[in-house]
Structure 1
Amino acid sequence: MEVELIKKTLFFLGAGFSFGTGCLTSGEMFSDLKKKILSDDDSFTPTEKEALQFLISCMAYHAEWRSIKTGGEIEFNPNIEELVLLIRRIKNRELFLPYPITGNWADKLVELETAYKKQDRKNLFEELELKLKSLLKNHWLESDEDKFGYLAPIRAFFQGYSEQSFRLDVCTLNNDLVIEKYFGAHHEIPWRGFYNGKWIGIDDEDKLDEFGRINLYKLHGSIDWARVESGEIYEESKFPEEEKEYIEPFHNPYVIFGQGSKTISVEPFFSLMKKFNELLRIKKYIFVIGYSFFDPYINNLLFYASKGFNRLIIVNPKFGPKRIYNSEIIDFDENDFFKIKYPKGTNPKDLEVYIKNIQKDSFFSELPEYNYTGITAQNIDFVPLETSIFIEKYFSNKGELLLSFIDKYDKEMKDYEEPF
């Protein structure tokens, strides 16, 4: 099978890719936070706990209201990124609303902020955001290296084609270190745009020979990155001793955390997003693994790239309206690359409508009317497998199933472009 097909393929990863390694999903982080603020855990002060309890109660009400509004088609559950977004909006409210209009903000928030300042503390909601980022780095994204074995077929895939020069392009929204730790342990460190611990950019290809065969573009940063006052970005394990006193507390770790507008013009995020967009324009087949599609900004890029005959292959055991992924009615054909056989009364069009509804939801985007909704059912394939099963099935035997899958698309594309 022609491994050159890999050069037409991009892998895009969401939180589900690391599920099972000990890293918590956004929803699990939210549940863990609730346990902390309802217990004797001393991570937060009493005032901070009271503020979080108030916000979480408001989010629960809003999530139920949004679920009912969809007629039960989408079951919204609060998650940690939504909480961070809410905290950020409260913290910055004076920046986009003049004071008289902010009277509609709950008096409870004002009371909590006042009480916090009386304790000789800084801004309540700024402190909460910092503490949540600390939990993200030091607790929520801890991974168990004994559970990294599910990545072994990918490494075996590389070894099966050791004489051929190709690299796996991987873009991810994840901040965890699962891929780096697994391949680093085998002396196959992914290329992330860092050299000798310092960010140098992602297009310095003369350095690639010193790294493994994965180009790993972490669009939202990483828990082992930190930024100093000069704007330089370093990897934690190779941080210069003389720079440590200049680390910006809010940018340690240096990650984008929380939904909302993510068009950031600072490095490395600007270059990473630019690279992502470039890859989307040249790749024909995009495997979207473990991603929920609840980020309209990312969706806009994915959907624009899927125009024409390009394909989005969604790999997720539970995606879309519940009537599609309900375990009692789901079925898929192993002989047809494990793609879903849609239950009676449902079809790929339902996934198209589901995604478009997310794009139109004002909760996920400040300007939903600008979001791109040009995704069509013919551009979507749904493979309802967990990440570990997908990797095992598709990358084993020198990637026979994966390459056959891509080859089938490639032949269909050629027939479409050259019908005679």
Structure 2
Amino acid sequence: MMKNDFTYILKETLFFTGAGFSKPAGCKLSSEMLEDIEKRSQLDRDSIFTKVERKTIKFILSCLEYHASWRSLESDGKYNYVPNIEEFALLLRRIKNRENLLPYPVTGNWSDKITLLEQEFNNESVSHELDLYSSIESKIKTKCYNDWLQISNLDFIQPLRTFINDNMSQTTEKLDFFTLNNDLVLEEAFKDENAVYTGFVSNKWVGFDNIQDNSYTNSRINYYKLHGSLDWARMYDGTIVKSGNNSDENIEIKPFLIFGHGVKIYTVEPFFNLLEEFRKSLIKKNYFIVVGYSFFDPHINNLFFNELSLHQEKIMFIINPKITENISVKNKDTGEYFEERESIKILKKEKKSEIVNYLENIQKNPFYSENSEFNIKKISSDSFEYIPLKSDEFLSNLKSILVLIGKIKNERVEQIKIFE
């Protein structure tokens, strides 16, 4: 494939990343974050959480374990569900707002346990500015997240830098990266080149409406952080800033990020604007490369699946070895389930039903969204390819994957012509 062919494919491609993308940098996966919360709940000394907060965390963890086991049993052994930090956040929020929405499985005499924990918290010797559940959430966001998202290695990003230098030096095209991650991996990896634009100019949020204006940025990557970032803050006047150069007394929320899935605060800027940019990009692009995302957010899934269902020429490439750990593919012979194209191992067409059923099961589950009956349940096996690569392996094979996209594109064009 020539460089101009790469340029065309890149212009038609949207990159989307989940927690698995940042794993090689040393950042924790969402399941690992939950494991760390469990360890912190067992500390008797030097814990950021009070004694009652630790008891509450253990209670919520027991609820999550119950529900994960129930979902796994309901699938008749097809799927192995493991709780994660997003589910912890979701249940924490539902318990806090239980007068309006009673969470499952927190029913029966368990509700008495919640009341007792709240009473204990209010009776602790130390005074509390926040309620029990808001206090736990605040400590997770302000203290745990910094530990969980510590960067220890950025070498795995080098193939992306090399690809940009080798294939994009003669073009003004930019890579469009959307992410649910709050870490600073891409920003740190490209800080010397100032190659990543996140919507900020002079540390103040201006958005992406004028990104074609080179006076704003000479970046090579437009990076849309749908759930905010560790270094974002909202001031009392509503201004969104990079938090490093501002005094805490002027900051209302820091870090300014969405914790967990479920009910999204998309009507609040800049999250509303970022989601709209995501929706517009899905409409504009033909190829969606999804890296390190496990599809446990039905709100995001609906946007992907809706666009794929409306346009048969669009294709999603799922890059994530973890998904096969949750379905029966992991127990199958590699040769039976996968084939090799352009030196890339992909799931055979006749085996894609495993992924289809897995995604449908998530979309139907009321635990992930209050109105699960409205979620898009089905995704055609023709609308995606599954590639079981880790993110560092993906970046090392990016050129081969783009070649594969080009060949699959040509095959789709021929198929559409035949049916027409």
Q: TM-score, normalised by structure 1?
A: 0.90
Alignment-derived partner of residue 320 in structure 2: 316
Distance (Å, rounded) in 2 between the aligned partners of 1:386 and 1:103: 43
Alignment-derived partner of residue 27 in structure 2: 23
Alignment-derived partner of residue 192 in structure 1: 198
Count, aligned residues: 402
The offset of 1:381, in angstroms, is 0.4
Alignment-derived partner of residue 98 in structure 2: 93
322-331 or 281-290, larger mean C-alpha shift? 322-331
The offset of 1:81, in angstroms, is 1.3
Alignment-derived partner of residue 89 in structure 2: 84
Contact 2:204–2:240 (8 Å) recurs in 1: yes
167-176 or 227-236, larger mean C-alpha shift? 227-236
1:360 to 343, 360, 364: 364
Alignment-derived partner of residue 284 in structure 2: 282
3-state DSSP of counterpart to 1:158: helix
Alignment-derived partner of residue 73 in structure 1: 78
Distance (Å, rounded) in 2 between the aligned partners of 1:103 and 1:349: 39
Q: Structure 1's 298 and 63: CA in aligned 2 closer, same or farther, altered over 3 A?
A: same
Q: Structure 1's 95 and 211: CA in aligned 2 closer, same or farther, altered over 3 A?
A: farther
Aligned residues with identical type, % of pairs: 39
Distance (Å, rounded) in 1 between the aligned partners of 2:55 and 2:21: 34
Distance (Å, rounded) in 2 between the aligned partners of 1:326 and 1:319: 13
Alignment-derived partner of residue 413 in structure 1: 412
322-331 or 13-22, larger mean C-alpha shift? 322-331
Distance (Å, rounded) in 2 between the aligned partners of 1:266 and 1:155: 33
1:168 to 167, 175, 186: 175
Q: How does 1:227-238 map to 2 (within 5 A)?
A: 227-238=234-245
Contact 2:205–2:239 (8 Å) recurs in 1: yes
74-83 or 287-296, larger mean C-alpha shift? 74-83
Q: Which ranges of structure 2 fall in alignment gaps of 5 or more residues?
A: none
Q: What is the aligned-residue RMSD (CA, Å)?
A: 2.2
3-state DSSP of counterpart to 2:353: helix
3-state DSSP of counterpart to 2:25: coil
3-state DSSP of counterpart to 1:231: coil
Q: Which whole-Å deviations, capped at 9, do the CAs of 1:17-63 have from their partners, x for residues lacking one?
A: 00121111111011111111112342111111111111111211221
Q: How does 1:11-410 map to 2 (within 5 A)?
A: 11-39=15-43, 40-96=45-101, 106-119=111-124, 120-121=127-128, 122-144=130-152, 147-160=153-166, 161-184=168-191, 186-205=192-211, 206-207=213-214, 210-239=217-246, 241=247, 244-248=248-252, 251-262=253-264, 264-307=266-309, 308-320=312-324, 321-326=326-331, 329=334, 332-342=338-348, 347-394=351-398, 399=399, 401-410=400-409
Distance (Å, rounded) in 2 between the aligned partners of 1:208 and 1:339: 42
Q: Which whole-Å deviations, capped at 9, do the CAs of 1:129-164 have from their partners, x for residues lacking one?
A: 1111123432111111xx211111111111113112
Contact 2:356–2:378 (8 Å) recurs in 1: no
3-state DSSP of counterpart to 1:94: coil
Distance (Å, rounded) in 1 between the aligned partners of 2:359 and 2:215: 37
One-letter amino acid of the counterpart of residue 55, structure 1: I
Q: Which whole-Å deviations, capped at 9, do the CAs of 1:320-370 have from their partners, x for residues lacking one?
A: 553213486466444445233449xx7111211110111000111100000
Q: Structure 1's 374 and 59: CA in aligned 2 closer, same or farther, altered over 3 A?
A: closer
One-letter amino acid of the counterpart of residue 201, structure 1: G
The offset of 1:374, in angstroms, is 3.6
Distance (Å, rounded) in 2 between the aligned partners of 1:411 and 1:96: 50
330-339 or 1-10, larger mean C-alpha shift? 330-339
Distance (Å, rounded) in 1 between the aligned partners of 2:91 and 2:245: 34
One-letter amino acid of the counterpart of residue 169, structure 1: D
Distance (Å, rounded) in 1 between the aligned partners of 2:293 and 2:156: 18
